[in-house]
A and B are shown apart, each in its own frame.
Chain A
Amino acid sequence: MMLCKLSLKNFKKSFKDYAIYFFTLILGVAVFYIFNAIDSQTIMLEVTSSTRDIIKLMTNMLSGVSVFISFVLGFLIIYASRFLMKRRRREFGIYMTLGMSKGSISKILLLETLLIGVISLLIGLGSGIMLSQVMSIFVANMFEASLTKFTFVISIPAIIKTVGYFGIMYIIVMIFNTINVSKCKLIDLIYANKKTEKVRLKNPILCVILFVISSCALAYAYYLVTMRFNEMEAMYEILIPIAIGCISTFLIFWSLSGMLLKIVMSLKKFYYKGLNSFTFRQISSKINTTVMGVSVICIFLFLTICVLSSALSLKNSLNANINELAPVDIQIMKTLNVPPGTKGYTNEQIEDSKISILETLERLNFDSSKYFTDVIDTKIYATNDFTVKDALASAYDEVIKSYPLLNYDTAEAIITVSEYNELARLFNKEEISLGENEYAIVADFDQWVNIRNLSLKENIPITILGKTYYPKYEECLDGFIYISSNHINTGIFVLPDDAVNESILEENILTANYNALNEEAKKEIEQRIIDLDKEEYTKNTSISASTRISIEEASTGLGAMVTFIGIYLGIIFLITSAALLALKELSESADNKERYKMLRKIGVDEKMIHKSLFWQILIFFLAPLLLACIHSIFGIQFCNIILSTMGTDQLLGSILMTAAVLLIIYGGYFLITYYSSKWIIEEK
């Protein structure tokens, strides 16, 4: 009972000290709930079944990410409780000198953790439930769905999940605290506050050398991920620049904390002005004792910036691409001339592969002339005698060095120039005219364009059905055959009409617009096509279709999914790093309180003290952010290369958005830290 009273009183008394910790917990719980409750927010949306599938996929991915996030938050909570424990060592020392057993102290801590846990869960869930109502508007916007009716949704599974995950985290914290207390020695507890800090100045020459080396290493890592990325041979190679980046981040902070002070100290006029000497000593000792922490925070911030800006830009550019890359309503594909006995095909399908799409549609009782306009019938040819390897010819040796993972045995797709031009007219692309023994390549996948340009520059001839052709252009032409949401055309060979014949016919494509005047009518035709899938005959034919509407939905869904996961991860990383900095700063303000008291006694103005405090906290918060920003300049470029197939044109807007999020959350934590520190050191 007495213990209960003690912990309650402690909680009330140290509430202001706990404020940041408490605030972070609430924020963590709320964000955790909101993102796990998204799927119940989407229930009131009017979406098609394919979007519903994407939402399902997204929910699954979000719960996967949540596991990872619970680890991050768990780490934060344990770290934070260790900080708070440190602050209270003297208090525990007094309990122990009064004869309280370690078991009882553990019980006090247990009760306090329980109290904080329950209250933060309640408030966090409460604010999470409120905020997730606002979130549903955002969700609707992301999926471009109309919000049919607004209902107040409470997701019971998300609540259970949040309580479960955080419950486990709190239990782990309790175990940690108990271990921590049982390891404490009374002597250390009592003299905890009396220990004066030993100032260890690092060897300045070593610092300079390390700084130069780590800066160079970092520059090399930047170079690897941006300029040399295309030459990376295997996935694990990306780990090299990541490792270099992490190690040099640590070393830069290590050496900088030593160097900075030396540099400032040598500027005697500046150093011995006002409280500058005190301020810089404080900053240097703070960074000195938390090099590891600051490095981790820097990397977290870097991840936040990259993840947020990439995720935000992806969604916009995905939508922008569709108008260009899916300019028609539908494309139906059918593989022709499947050789007998091919795996994965039934005998009926092989038999059926002899007939064209139009015939197939007839058999399905689908009146293509009624539903379609602008119909274009295209044939794609391919032969195993003409593979990627053959197409590259002498450039192959060079290409395989840079791209060893590509499959070079795939047969290249061929289209006749007149059929291509028909499509090009419809797609608003440039038409091609070819001489008798000339060929051209149409591609829009950047990496492949580069590969193919190599062979085109070398004027490599190709041989189709015994006849040789030479490239007409030195570069690939921009264009595509299949509608899609991204630039994924790896290359199609355009040849004169007489270059191919029926023997190497591979695929039939039917491109068309819907014969409809408005969106409603288009949707009806779309539904008619979806219904075809239910016909008995469909089983016996290997026909497939992609429609503009489905591409739009998939792309919107994908964009929304990536954006949500990105925002989720980004916000959690940001909260974690800001909270770590804030806690470190606040856990020291008890020690600092003594120092400020001394300063006041020798007559330092409050204004000067506040200024000094402001600069200390600002530099402490800015140091990791600054390096993270430099990292991000290259990191975002790297993300850009990876996501280049998706197109990331609107990067500036998303970077500005990221900056805004950063400013609000990180800046908010900075201000809270500054004001709480000011409050702690104030004389009462």
Chain B
Amino acid sequence: METLLKIEDIEKYYGNKSSLTKAIDHISFEVEKGEFISIMGASGSGKTTLLNCISTIDRVTSGHIYLEGQDITKLKGNELNKFRREELGFIFQDFNLLDTLTAYENIALALSIQNVPFKEIEKRIKEIAEKLNISDILSKYPYQMSGGQKQRVASARAIITSPKLILADEPTGSLDSKSSRMLLESISSLNKELQATILMVTHDAFTASYASRVIFIKDGKIFHELIRGKDTRKEFFNKIIDVVTLLGGNLNDAL
């Protein structure tokens, strides 16, 4: 397998000299193409900061992040936007759908800002909508949809540009357990069928158990790593719970 994302000894500090917070403290890891990785940690462990640094929303204090060999910590201004637009797909906890646009238009926006011709947009939306089972809600507005539907539309928007990496920030955070399950099934099928590389941040062991690898973060450092291997989801989930307990019960809302 070839390496897609390489994180090399990154640090992120907040605050000033008198009160320095190390949100990320020397983290390094690699992500292979087609992997589905979960990053777990309690609130304040630095997992969202890590995601923000990878997504170029935030800047690292030191260290390098390479996506297919390109150092994205060196990007500036509109290069950043172009990078985000063309190489990354986002799924957010609060969906981030534009409330004035229909589901169709929301998905189309991701392509139209890349100047994809309309014929192509139409074709790709049709394909992705079938895969994510949202064909019948394409003409609806966000306020007419349930949370699960919204998140699947957001996933469609994230995947439709065929990004190198999909970043998901607590994708199930605003969903009930049934919707979460449906969404996670969809995401892992995207991972399997389309070989999409997914990096997901969560504090929820159930959500994390859908991934192929889980990285645990505590106080800005990598605390532990679990690889699913041949385990069933259930077995993997139990292993995760064990680590969570070890981490100090900060994640006792895992179930």
Q: Which residues of A contact B83 (CB under 8 A)?
A: 603
- Least Cβ distance of A588 to chain B in Å? 11
The verdict on A343 contacting chain B, using a C-beta distance below 8 Å, is no
Q: Are B98 and A278 in contact (CB under 8 A)?
A: yes
- Complex Cα–Cα for A502 and B212 (A): 123
A interface majority secondary structure: helix
A385 to B: closest C-beta gap in Å: 78
B157 within 8 A of A: yes
| Interface contact B112-A602, CB-CB below 8 Å | no
Query: Is A285 an interface residue when CB atoms closer than 8 A count as contact?
Result: yes
Partner of A196, one of B81, B92, B99: B99
| Residue pair A595, B84 in contact (C-beta under 8 Å) | no
Residues of A within 8 A of B157 (CB): 602
Known: A268-B118, A600-B81. A197 touches B99 (CB 8 A): yes
Q: Does B57 contact A (CB under 8 A)?
A: yes
Q: A197-B99, A197-B100, A605-B78 are in contact. Are A275 and B109 (CB under 8 A)?
A: yes
Instruction: Please indicate the chain B residues that have their CB under 8 angstroms from the CB of A606 in the complex.
Output: 77-78, 81
A198-B143, A274-B113 given as contacts; is B100 within 8 A of A601 (CB)? no
Contact of A605 with B100 in the complex, beta carbons under 8 Å: no
Contact B84 A603 (CB under 8 A): yes
Do A601 and B121 have beta carbons less than 8 Å apart? no
Residues of B within 8 A of A595 (CB): 98-100
Name B111's closest neighbour in chain A (CB-CB).
Answer: A272
Q: Is the pair B143, A601 in contact by a Cβ cutoff of 8 Å?
A: no
Contacts of A603 in B (CB 8 A): 81-86, 88, 113
Interface assignment of A282: CB less than 8 Å from any CB of chain B: yes
Chain B 69-92, CB-CB to A under 8 Å as 1, else 0, gives 000000001100111111010101
Q: In the docked arrangement, what's the CA distance between A406 and B142, Å? A: 66
Most A C-beta atoms less than 10 A away, residue of B97, B99, B105, B112:
B99
Task: Take A196-B142, A197-B99, A604-B85 as given contacts and tell me if A278 and B109 are in contact as well, using a CB distance cutoff of 8 Å.
Answer: yes
Task: Please determine whether B115 and A273 come into contact, CB atoms closer than 8 angstroms.
Answer: yes
A602 near B141 with CB under 8 A, answer no
Q: Does A274 contact B115, Cβ atoms closer than 8 Å?
A: yes
What A residues does B143 contact at CB under 8 A?
196-199
Give the docked Cα–Cα distance between A601 and B98 (Å): 12
**CB-nearest residue of chain A relative to B95?**
A598
A598 close to B112 (CB less than 8 A): no
Interface size class of B (residues with CB under 8 A): 20 to 34
CA of A599 to CA of B86, assembled, Å: 14
In the complex, the chain A residue whose C-beta lies closest to that of B158 is A602
Check if B81 sits within 8 Å of A605, measured CB to CB.
yes
Max chain A C-beta neighbours (<10 A), residue from B82, B100, B141: B100
Determine if B199 is an interface residue (Cβ-Cβ < 8 Å). Answer: no
Cα distance, A599 to B85, chains bound together (Å): 10
Contacts of A604 in B (CB 8 A): 81, 85, 113
Say yes or no: A601 contacts B92, CB within 8 Å. yes
B21 at interface, CB cutoff 8 A:
no
Instruction: List, in ascending order, chain B residues with CB within 8 A of A607's CB.
Output: 78
CB distance from B252 to the nearest CB of A (A): 28
A603 to B110 Cα, complex, angstroms:
8
- The answer to whether A605 touches B90 (Cβ under 8 A) is no
Q: A663 in the interface, Cβ–Cβ < 8 Å?
A: no
Nearest CB to that of B112 among chain A residues?
Answer: A272
Contact of B112 among A196, A273, A600 (CB under 8 A): A273
Check B78–A602 contact: CB distance below 8 A: no
B98 and A598 form a contact (CB under 8 A) = yes
Q: A602-B90, A603-B88, A605-B113 are in contact. List 20 more A-B contacts (CB 8 A).
A: A197-B100, A199-B100, A199-B143, A272-B118, A275-B112, A278-B100, A281-B100, A595-B100, A598-B97, A601-B57, A602-B109, A602-B113, A602-B157, A603-B84, A603-B85, A603-B113, A604-B85, A605-B81, A606-B77, A607-B78
Q: Return 12 A-B CB contacts under 8 Å, by A number.
A: A197-B143, A199-B100, A268-B118, A272-B112, A272-B118, A281-B98, A281-B101, A281-B105, A603-B85, A603-B113, A604-B81, A604-B85
Report which A residues bind B (CB closer than 8 A): 196-199, 268-269, 272-278, 281-282, 285, 595, 598-608
